[in-house]
Amino acid sequence: MDNINYPESHKSGFVSIVGKPNVGKSTLLNALLDQKLCIVTPKASTTRHRIYGILNEPAVQIIFTDTPGYIKKTYNLHHAMMHDFSIALEDSEIVLLVVDPDEHFPEQELFEQLLKHKSHIFLVINKIDLYSKQKVEDKIAAVSKILPIAKVFRVSAIQKTGLEEIKNAVIDTLPEGPPYFDKQAISDKPERFFVAEFVREQLFLNLHEELPYSCEVYITTFKPDGNKIFIDAEIHVDKKSHKGMIIGKQGQMIKVIRKAAQAEIEAFLGTPVYLSLYVRITEDWRQSRFRLSQFGYVLPKQL
Ligand code: GDP
Ligand code: MG
């Protein structure tokens, strides 16, 4: 670990990015890091795991966490997602509460959670490229009535405006301390994790309605051989009928998913990749404690 050379005044800390599904949390994290670490799709609740995105500068290490959007719990999967969410809040010095001006209030429950923690709350009004100034200011006024907001930022994560201001304010607020992770690291997750995420992203982009929510991706092989990395990924689905839809007529759909995911993985790893996909039926994986833990979810002890 290359953590010996950092100045005495080094600053470090955890910053969690929270908000309702689809407000642009993952887009914001990718933009702050200038790297595509989190998958982004127009569908709500794409992010299932807590992901650390690490921003390193010679005298600073900011550990951002992208959390799944705050949701109601209907499956054990959701319990695991929300468990991640409250851990992220507990760990963080600063919370970036991301809000879309057009959303009605983020759920009461989310606000109550935020009030319980002592982190500084930075309100980030995202997607300002879509709305009038008045709408943005009204939103700020409404949220400020309920929560003690330390600072307000008006940004467009997609157009990358207003991001420097967030970064500078975070650095000002973080305490002095040594780095928590290697100064070269960009995340705490292994490459395999991101590979599975890129496959999942294509499922969300190409399949309709509820189908992608019933899929999970599991990497069984990740093997460099010559100048290529050979990757086998299993796509687990709930139902037999879903398997047919993912494969598509004469395998057309799975072909599209495979090709697009492979290109994203190659861009991320910076090496040629050969991706193979296998669709498997695993009934009720969203409820099964065994399957959820196999897929990398940490369930709270009591449910
Ligand atoms: P999350 O669920 O909060 O992580 O939201 P995502 O980052 O996945 O984004 C949800 C959708 O909003 C995607 O289609 C993004 O492209 C879009 N989006 C995110 N940020 C912006 C923005 O600043 N402006 C616009 N117009 N769209 C955005
Ligand atoms: Mg997300």
**How would residue 250 be classed by pLDDT, with cut points 50, 70 and 90?**
very high
* Average pLDDT, integer, range 201-220: 88
User: Which residue's CA is the closest to the ligand 1 atom numbered 22?
Assistant: 127
Whose CA is closest to atom 2 on ligand 1? 22
Please say if the pLDDT value at position 136 is more than 90.
yes
Distance 247 CA to ligand 2 centre (A): 26
22 alpha carbon – ligand 1 mean position (Å): 6
Strand, coil or helix: what is 64?
Answer: strand
The residue whose CA is least distant from atom 8 of ligand 1 is: 40
Distance between Cα 214 and ligand 2 center (Å)? 17
Q: Which residue has the higher pLDDT, 286 or 207?
A: 207
pLDDT at 246 over 90: yes
Number of the ligand closest to the Cα of 106: 1
Ligand 1 site, residue 101, Cβ cutoff 6 A: no
pTM: 0.78
Kindly give, in sequence order, each residue whose CB lies less than 8 Å from that of residue 276, ignoring residues fewer than 6 positions away: 230, 231, 232, 233, 258
Task: Kindly state the average pLDDT of the residues 226-231.
Answer: 94
- Provide the pLDDT for residue 119: 85
Q: Within 221-251, where are the H helices?
A: 240-247
Give the closest ligand to the alpha carbon of residue 159: 1
Is the pLDDT confidence value at 47 over 70? no
Residue 156: CB within 6 Å of ligand 1?
Answer: yes
Ligand 1 contact, 67 CB (< 6 A): no
What's the average model confidence in pLDDT over 105-130?
85
Distance 72 CA to ligand 2 centre (A): 16
Instruction: Give first-to-last CA distance, the chain, whole Å.
Output: 38
Cβ 52 vs Cβ 28: under 8 Å: no
Task: Specify the pLDDT at position 169.
Answer: 98
The percent of residues in the chain predicted with pLDDT above 70, rounded, is 88
**Tens-digit pLDDT profile for residues 139-151:** 999 999 999 999 9
The atom of ligand 1 lying closest to the CA of 21 is: 2
Residue 87 has pLDDT above 70, yes or no: yes
Q: CA 143, 158, 192, 91 torsion: positive or negative?
A: negative
Determine the distance separating the centroid of ligand 2 and the alpha carbon of 25, expressed in angstroms. Answer: 5
- Residue 1 vs residue 14, higher pLDDT: 14
Sign of CA dihedral 150, 156, 157, 159: negative
* pLDDT of the residue at 41: 67
User: What number does the ligand 1 atom closest to the CA of 156 have?
Assistant: 23
